[in-house]
Chain A
Amino acid sequence: GAVVSQHPSWVICKSGTSVKIECRSLDFQATTMFWYRQFPKQSLMLMATSNEGSKATYEQGVEKDKFLINHASLTLSTLTVTSAHPEDSSFYICSARELDTGELFFGEGSRLTVL
């Protein structure tokens, strides 16, 4: 099946630094990618919808200046957590919608720990 790769899988950073997480569709093209955040023992909350070549659409309550999303190509979307703080520590998961079929595929997630 189609594969969505996230990198890095784990990242630890100091408070105040910025962290970039990549989401790649390895063997298909994705015009739309979604970024989710999952707190421990909780469900996935949609953060934003990323469309190739245009600005991301953020869900209510998600700071767009804090969580920068770029979808520069049909196979890559990036989420940058700017000036990270401990409360940003979370599991971030992306999903990509295959252009041809509309199927959704999930990445393995990226665990961010901010010290």
Chain B
Amino acid sequence: GEDVEQSLFLSVREGDSSVINCTYTDSSSTYLYWYKQEPGAGLQLLTYIFSNMDMKQDQRLTVLLNKKDKHLSLRIADTQTGDSAIYFCAERDGNTPLVFGKGTRLSVIA
């Protein structure tokens, strides 16, 4: 079946950029998502990218997609302590359910 892999932990200093990486196996992935989950809370959609795009920028967030290598990354510029959370990469093909990675726990050090 489809698989989505992420590194489990990332620690950065406040003000630095964070880059969270994700790889996936489904070559027919149409949509790729980044979700943020704060402790005890549900999922917050941060951004998404269609598979026919290679970059999307939204304020401090930049998503890069390398479809050939099936690699997705999320860059957070000027990382703040409020960005500390778990970030999930997810993908789907058409109307299929989302397949999630295990999540990357981002810790921001003041």
- A residues adjacent to B (C-beta < 8 A): 6, 32, 34, 42-44, 46, 49, 93, 95, 97, 102, 104-109, 111
Contacts between chains A and B (CB distance < 8 A), count:
39
- Give the dominant DSSP class at A's interface: strand
Residues in B whose Cβ lies below 8 Å from that of A46? 97-99
Residues in A whose Cβ lies below 8 Å from that of B100? 43-44
The reply to whether A34 and B98 contact each other, CB–CB distance below 8 Å, is yes
The reply to whether B41 and A104 contact each other, CB–CB distance below 8 Å, is no
**Interface residues on chain B, number (Cβ under 8 Å):** 17
The complex places the Cα of A42 from the Cα of B101 at a distance, in Å, of 9
The reply to whether B42 and A108 contact each other, CB–CB distance below 8 Å, is yes
Residues in B whose Cβ lies below 8 Å from that of A107? 42
**Known contacts A44-B88, A106-B42, A106-B43; is-contact A95 B102 (Cβ 8 Å):** no
Q: How far is the CB of A28 from chain B (nearest CB, A)?
A: 15
